[in-house]
Structure 1
Amino acid sequence: MARGGRGARGGRGLARVAVVVRAGAAPLWWLGVCAAAVGLAVPGLTGRRIGLYAGAALFLVTAAVVACTRRGRYKSLADKAVRAGRHDVLQDRAVSVRVWRRGHRWWLLLAFLAALASAAALPAAGGLLLAGAGAGLRLKAAWLGRLERAGDVLLWVRVDWLGKRGGRPVGPAVKGFRSTGIAAGDAAPGGARRRSAALV
């Protein structure tokens, strides 16, 4: 499948919006859980109990903020989505996930190290914040899935509009979404892999 902006005969490479949103959920969640577990090994300045309470609050707030941020923009682009052309190339789910994770690997590493370092002050809090961001992305992808099911469409965005790191489905470069039937591609509504798909 195409990874660039232009496919065969003038078509465009398209990535699923929900897959791009969901791509960061698992690494953020697991890095956050690991950082929180490591952080609990040291008492920190405030002690483990306060760190856990603060971390729980950060988890909930971060998950809510990430899940709700820019929903209006997603909804607006979804409402105005145009039908994908016959020569547009639908990017595999595995490719979209891999592009996102490669493009953000250094940011993920820095976030993990920062979460570990924060344990010196608030044990586990930084890790739970990271995990909250991952949970928020999963919730946003689930919301997109409900939006797709309600419209009986799947939402796609041009690959060349996503940026070098492949992860800005509503960034300033994105002029609109494209849509296909609900059975197109290898990812279900919301970006999860289809049960019958063998990929990622």
Structure 2
Amino acid sequence: MAVVVRAGAAPLWWAGVFAAGVGVLVPGVTGRRIGVMAGAALFIVAAALVAYRRRGRYTALARGAARAGRHDVLQDRAVTARNWRRGHRWWLLLGCLAALGSAFAVPAAGGMLLAGCGTGLRLKAAWLGRHERTEEALLWVRVDWLDARGGRPAGKQVKAYRGTGVAAGDAAPGGARRRTAALV
């Protein structure tokens, strides 16, 4: 489940960094200094809002997590991330273009806002990872409850989470790729 949250963090971060970098090159209406200061404030506010939004829903669903059954279909980490990114690629592109366009008014602010949203998603995935480690169970969303566009891990269609042991699957707690020790 944290994989779905984490899937959007990297594209938003990199699109924001790119848009902010290009946005600094444009003097804009307000000037670079005001644009960067406004962007820094937007970055902090966006990261905090995204990181703390809907935590109650996540914890309520995690509290009611049932053990994953034999007939539950659980996706690999790479497939889940790929599906989310494919389903949201046009929104990511439009967000990046809007951030680039806003640079003519307030340089770098739109890009820093996007990067703040990506940072917030990463912080939320880390929070979910800490929760998974303390409960010693990975949380999963059934594939049929996520739509073809990647879905929302705490959306209306999600009725409950499924739980497995922390060694199950190819994802570590928090949605990161599982690191395996090389055998010598």
Question: How far apart are the structure 1 equivalents of 2:48 and 2:56?
Answer: 15
Between the aligned partners of 1:159 and 1:63, the Cα distance in structure 2 is 28
Equivalent residue, structure 2, for 1:96 = 80
State the 1:160 CA deviation. 1.6
Matches within 5 A, 1:165-180: 165-180=149-164
- Shift in Å, 1:195: 1.2
Q: Which moved more, 1:160-169 or 1:129-138?
A: 160-169
Stretches of 4+ aligned residues off by more than 2 angstroms: 86-90
Q: Contact 1:157–1:178 at 8 Å: present in 2 too?
A: yes
Aligned partner letter, 1:145: G
Tell me by how many angstroms 1:41 deviates.
0.7
Counterpart in the other structure of 1:14: none
What is the DSSP-based 3-state SS (H/G/I as helix, E as strand, rest coil) of the residue aligned with 1:179? strand
Could you tell me how far apart the structure 1 residues matched to 2:148 and 2:137 are?
Answer: 27
- RMSD (Å) for aligned C-alpha atoms: 1.2
Q: Of 104, 108, 133, which aligns to 1:124?
A: 108
Q: 1:40 aligns with which of 11, 15, 24?
A: 24
TM-score, normalization by structure 2: 0.96
Question: Which residue, 62, 69, 79 being the options, matches 2:46?
Answer: 62
What secondary structure sits across from 1:38 in the alignment? helix
Are the counterparts in 2 of residues 186 and 197 from structure 1 also a CA contact under 8 Å? no
- Give ranges in structure 1 of 5+ residues lacking alignment: 1-16
Q: Percent identity?
A: 75
Aligned residues: 182
SS of 2:139 mapped into structure 1:
strand
Match runs of 1:2-41 below 5 Å: 17-41=1-25
Give the TM-score, by structure 1 length: 0.89
Q: Aligned residue for 1:113?
A: 97
| In structure 1, distance between residues paired with 2:153 and 2:147 | 9
- Structure 2, unmatched stretches of 5+, are none
